[in-house]
């Protein structure tokens, strides 16, 4: 586990000796990324003089890549709530506040990413083993990324947001009544929702709205996407309509990459045969691209057209058995998961090997681990899950992806 070293800071610490440094850092190591850390509390826990503790924490917060960040805050004199603004109302409604400061661990520092990794390992039993397996596979160049809407969520709406956007258009344009819109919302199957939307506004309108919605954003790519494409992946498969993955690859220095959609028979054949790899990172848009309306897979009819074709269905089944997939930002309600499912493979007479895929799965922080959930993903889809808290815009995922990239590229293990 990476930690802070006395020799890196000794010249700036004044009266802080190595023993005191070690006790203070050990106390900081036990803090979470969400904690507002007080020098007084650290001093008491570490049994070190307050002035020495405060001096060290100030030193650790100076510099661009420093492990700590100092935050100036306001503290309620009654309930001790910490607020960003003096005018902000606290829990008890008191208006009497005093100025104070606290330190937080910088999540984008090496130290912060290691804290994030520690928290992820502790978040759910089994996470550590799956993380080790992921790093080993990345080092071996065995992983194909499989990206869902969550990888671009910073820039574009997810499925539910997209449905709402379509319904707003249908209502505003007079294509649907409030009752019809509500009926779509209550529909359980996401693909049936899409089908009903298309029946209200028409397939051409659906394709036009997708083109408008997923056109390149001024930001071009999300923070998550940069971390993802910087991993040593053999290739990338995405169900997203946007092309932010291509922009991220360019940002990371990719000089060439071969991209195509599910309609490109030659591309599918090369993926199956493995000849797609070698000249840059190949990217496959399995649900089409926003700027190629005929390739867009959105409604149930679109899915049936794409997935019921023998070549395309065989392609998915083949890659699910041939490659180690890494799912990021992906919804397991997609019809592809039926193809990947062990039940479907057994029905087609396919061999069902041990789990060979890995997925990052964001859950509520109050999530109570249940081993049967992990077992269900392994048995049904051949997927080993890394559960992580989905708070703060999936910050833990970003931190760990950054660390995975460093670990894999330096041939280190977690």
Label residue 178 by pLDDT band (50, 70, 90): very high
- Residue 337: the pLDDT is 66
What single-letter DSSP state applies at residue 367? Answer: P
Q: Compute the half-sphere exposure of residue 8: CA atoms within 13 Å on the CB side of its CA.
A: 9
Output 167 or 90, whichever has higher pLDDT.
167
Q: Same structural domain for residues 236 and 354?
A: yes
**Domain extent at residue 293:** 112-156+218-409
What single-letter DSSP state applies at residue 96? Answer: -
Residue 86, pLDDT > 90, answer no
Contact yes or no for 229/245 (Cβ under 8 A): yes
Q: What is the mean pLDDT of the chain?
A: 85
What single-letter DSSP state applies at residue 278? Answer: B
Q: Same structural domain for residues 65 and 173?
A: no
Burial class of residue 302 (count of CB atoms within 10 Å of its CB; 0-12, 13-18, 19+): buried
In the chain, % of residues over pLDDT 90: 41
**What 3-state DSSP class applies to 192?**
helix
Number of domains in the chain: 3
CA 246 – CA 269 distance, rounded (Å)? 21
Q: Average pLDDT in the 384-391 region?
A: 90
Residue 10 structure tokens: 């000794």
The 10s digit of each residue's pLDDT in 190-244 is 878 899 999 999 999 999 999 999 999 888 998 889 989 999 999 999 999 999 9
CA 348 – CA 364 distance, rounded (Å)? 36
Q: Same structural domain for residues 43 and 130?
A: no
Q: Same structural domain for residues 261 and 328?
A: yes
Q: Average pLDDT in the 338-360 region?
A: 61
Query: Would 1 be classed as within a structural domain?
Result: no
Q: Average pLDDT in the 263-289 region?
A: 89
Residue 28, pLDDT > 50, answer yes
Residue labelled with tokens 């935050």 = 71
The residues pairing with 72 across neighbouring beta strands, listed in sequence order, are: 101
CA separation, residue 68 to residues 22, 131, 286, 365 (Å): 16, 26, 42, 24
Q: Same structural domain for residues 340 and 209?
A: no
Q: Same structural domain for residues 134 and 241?
A: yes
Give the domain CATH number at 16: 1.10.10
Q: Same structural domain for residues 117 and 36?
A: no
Q: What is the CA radius of gyration of the chain?
A: 25
Query: Would 283 be classed as within a structural domain?
Result: yes
Residue 183, pLDDT > 50, answer yes
Query: Would 414 be classed as within a structural domain?
Result: no
- What's this model's pTM, rounded to 2 decimal places? 0.81
- Residue 70: the pLDDT is 92
Residue 310, pLDDT > 70, answer no
CA 392 – CA 364 distance, rounded (Å)? 11
Contact yes or no for 44/21 (Cβ under 8 A): no
CA 345 – CA 329 distance, rounded (Å)? 24
Query: Would 41 be classed as within a structural domain?
Result: yes
Q: Same structural domain for residues 37 and 90?
A: yes
Q: Same structural domain for residues 293 and 309?
A: yes
Phi first, then psi, for residue 407 (nearest 5°) are -65, -45
- Residue 27: the pLDDT is 94
Q: Is the dihedral of CA 347, 349, 354, 355 positive or negative?
A: negative
Give the domain CATH number at 131: 3.40.50
Query: Would 205 be classed as within a structural domain?
Result: yes
Q: Average pLDDT in the 30-35 region?
A: 85
Q: Same structural domain for residues 70 and 174?
A: no
Q: Same structural domain for residues 288 and 369?
A: yes
CA 63 – CA 38 distance, rounded (Å)? 20
Residue labelled with tokens 């910088």 = 106
User: Among the residues of 223-365, which ranges form H helices?
Assistant: 223-229, 244-251, 265-273, 300-307, 310-322, 336-340, 342-347
Q: Same structural domain for residues 62 and 183?
A: no
Q: Is the dihedral of CA 282, 151, 163, 155 positive or negative?
A: negative
Strands 97-105 and 68-76: antiparallel
Q: Average pLDDT in the 103-128 region?
A: 88
Final residue in a domain of this structure, among 39, 74, 106: 106
């Amino acid at each position: 586990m990476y930690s802070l070293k006395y020799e890196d800071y000794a010249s700036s610490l004044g009266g802080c000796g190595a023993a005191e440094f070690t006790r203070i850092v050990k106390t900081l190591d036990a803090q979470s990324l969400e904690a507002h850390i007080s020098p007084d509390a650290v001093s008491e826990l570490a049994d070190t003089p307050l002035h020495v503790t405060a001096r060290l924490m100030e030193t650790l917060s100076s510099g661009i890549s420093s492990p700590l960040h100092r935050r100036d805050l306001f503290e309620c004199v009654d309930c001790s709530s910490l607020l960003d603004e003096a005018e902000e109302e606290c829990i008890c409604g008191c208006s009497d506040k005093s100025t104070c400061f606290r330190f937080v661990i910088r999540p984008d520092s090496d130290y912060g990413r290691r804290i994030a990794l520690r928290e992820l390992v502790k978040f759910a039993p089994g996470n550590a083993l799956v993380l080790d397996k992921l790093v080993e596979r990345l080092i071996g160049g065995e992983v194909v990324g499989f990206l869902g809407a969550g990888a671009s969520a910073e820039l574009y709406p997810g499925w539910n947001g997209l449905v709402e956007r379509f319904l707003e258009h249908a209502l505003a344009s007079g294509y649907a009544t409030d009752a019809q819109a509500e009926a779509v919302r209550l529909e359980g199957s996401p693909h049936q929702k899409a089908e009903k939307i298309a029946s209200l506004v028409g397939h051409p309108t659906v394709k036009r709205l997708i083109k408008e919605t997923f056109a390149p954003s001024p930001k071009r790519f999300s923070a998550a996407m940069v971390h993802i494409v910087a991993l040593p992946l053999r290739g990338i498969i995405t169900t997203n309509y946007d092309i932010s993955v291509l922009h991220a690859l360019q940002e990371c220095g990719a000089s060439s990459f071969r991209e195509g959609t599910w309609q490109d028979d030659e591309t599918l054949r090369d993926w199956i045969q493995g000849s797609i790899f070698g000249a840059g990172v190949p990217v496959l848009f399995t649900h089409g691209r926003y700027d190629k309306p005929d390739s867009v897979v959105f409604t149930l009819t679109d899915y049936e057209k794409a997935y019921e074709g023998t070549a395309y269905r065989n392609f998915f089944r083949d890659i699910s058995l041939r490659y180690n997939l890494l799912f990021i930002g992906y919804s397991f309600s997609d019809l592809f998961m039926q193809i990947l499912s062990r039940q479907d493979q057994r029905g087609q007479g396919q061999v069902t090997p041990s789990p060979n895929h890995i997925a990052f799965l964001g859950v509520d922080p109050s999530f109570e681990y249940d081993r049967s959930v992990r077992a269900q993903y392994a048995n049904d889809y051949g997927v080993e899950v890394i559960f992580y808290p989905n708070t703060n815009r999936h910050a833990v995922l970003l931190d760990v992806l950054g660390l995975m990239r460093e670990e894999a590229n330096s041939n280190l293990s977690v």
